[in-house]
């Protein structure tokens, strides 16, 4: 338990994760198990496509439902890879929370709430926890950064075998 207390944050120091912006999220499966999808096709003539597993279909369902559930965010784009998910999340935040109270803490920021709720809903339907404890996020800084991350989502299936999160299925 002390190990968890001493973990360093991956968050950008002094960043407000609740203001109007786009955040790029990466959520990985435990032990990077390839249980969410399969990359099919040769990539030569037919292109590589994503074929969702039962776990991936459930994740897809909750990504879309949560986008409708939260008024202060929307999922701009995402890809469900075999052992991880990338999501472009548009935060429609402001300086105060919905009730006019100060914004939540970093641990209870809009992206953190989204990831927590997403994992909880998925795990309930799975009957087990398939997710790593942490997720990674990156605040999109400008239009170029946005385009690069959007391109990364689109090209991720094509580059799967060269991806740093690649693992044998």
Terminal CA-CA length for the chain: 31
Q: What is residue 164's DSSP assignment? A: T
Whether 7 shows a pLDDT value over 60: the answer reads: no
User: According to the model, what pLDDT value does residue 165 have?
Assistant: 63
Question: Are 91 and 19 in contact, with CB atoms under 8 Å apart?
Answer: yes
pLDDT digits (tens, 9 = 90+) for 21-32: 899 999 999 999
User: CB-based contacts of 69: which residues, under 8 Å, 6+ apart?
Assistant: 117
pLDDT at 18 over 70: no
Question: 117-160 pLDDT, tens per residue?
Answer: 999 999 999 999 999 988 898 999 999 999 999 999 999 888 88
Query: Alpha helix locations (H) across the chain?
Result: 2-5, 54-69, 110-126, 143-155
Can you give the pLDDT at residue 112? 86
Q: So where are the chain's domains?
A: 10-159
**Whole-model pTM?**
0.80
Q: Which two tokens stand for residue 167?
A: 């693992």
Fold of the 10-159 domain: Alpha-Beta Plaits (3.30.70)
Residue 52 has pLDDT above 70, yes or no: yes
**What pLDDT score does 168 carry?**
63
pLDDT tens readout for residues 78-121: 999 999 999 999 988 654 444 444 444 445 678 888 999 999 99
* pLDDT for position 111: 85
> 54-69 vs 110-126: helix axis angle to the nearest 10?
140
Q: What is the CA radius of gyration of the chain?
A: 16
**pLDDT-derived band at 166, boundaries 50, 70, 90:** low
Q: How far is CA 108 from CA 29, 42, 46, 128, in A?
A: 22, 42, 43, 23
């Amino acid at each position: 338990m002390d190990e968890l207390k001493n973990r360093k944050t991956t968050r950008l120091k002094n960043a407000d994760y609740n203001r109007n912006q786009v955040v790029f999220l990466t959520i990985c499966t435990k032990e990077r198990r390839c249980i969410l999808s399969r990359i099919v096709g040769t990539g030569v003539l037919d292109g590589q496509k994503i074929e969702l597993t039962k776990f991936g279909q459930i994740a897809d369902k909750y990504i879309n439902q949560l986008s409708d559930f939260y008024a202060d965010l929307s999922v701009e784009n995402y890809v469900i890879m075999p052992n991880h998910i990338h999501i472009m999340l548009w935060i429609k935040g402001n300086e105060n929370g919905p009730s006019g109270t100060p914004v939540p803490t970093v641990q209870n920021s809009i992206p953190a709430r989204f990831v927590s709720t997403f994992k909880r809903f998925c795990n309930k339907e799975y009957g087990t926890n398939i997710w790593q404890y942490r997720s990674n996020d990156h605040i999109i800084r400008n239009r170029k950064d946005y385009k690069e991350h959007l391109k990364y989502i689109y090209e991720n299936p094509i580059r799967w075998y060269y991806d740093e999160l690649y693992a044998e299925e």
